[in-house]
Amino acid sequence: MRKLTMFTIMILILALALVACGGDDGGDSEEAAPVGDAAQGETLYNGTTIGSASAPGCVTCHSLEEGVVVVGPSHAGVASRAAGYVSGQSAEDYLRASIIDPDAHIVDGFTAGVMYPNYGSDLSDQEIDDLVAYLLTLD
């Protein structure tokens, strides 16, 4: 009886270890939340200059009011629109790419070469994550 009990305990320990490890069940899962801090991203967004080169802050060229164009497109509702701009690209990936390489995808009605091109090198990865997290709150 003692061997059976010890065997059972070992099986239970092994089963618990496997459950604790988790793993991919192959099913669809929701996209992971962005790693950035949306509150910090909002602070960056609203700064008149950002980054190591004191580049123009987002608010200097983008409005948060629907239909209001300053220089670039309004960011009102950008989180909802971003997922549909490039087929197969998530809103988070689209927004990140738009910050790092602003001429990769130009919104209809706007001109390439207008947005400051060096945010990818002037901002830290964390600052970019923070901006993306904030932009994802703008539904």
pLDDT per position as a tens digit, 43-62:
999 999 999 999 999 999 99
Which among 63, 34, 61 has a CA at the least distance from the CA of 129? 34
- Residue 66 pLDDT level (bands cut at 50, 70, 90): very high
Tokens of 134: 């904030």
**CATH architecture for residues 38-135:** Orthogonal Bundle (1.10)
pLDDT band with cut points at 50, 70 and 90 for residue 35: confident
Mean pLDDT computed over every residue of the chain: 85
pTM to 2 decimal places = 0.75
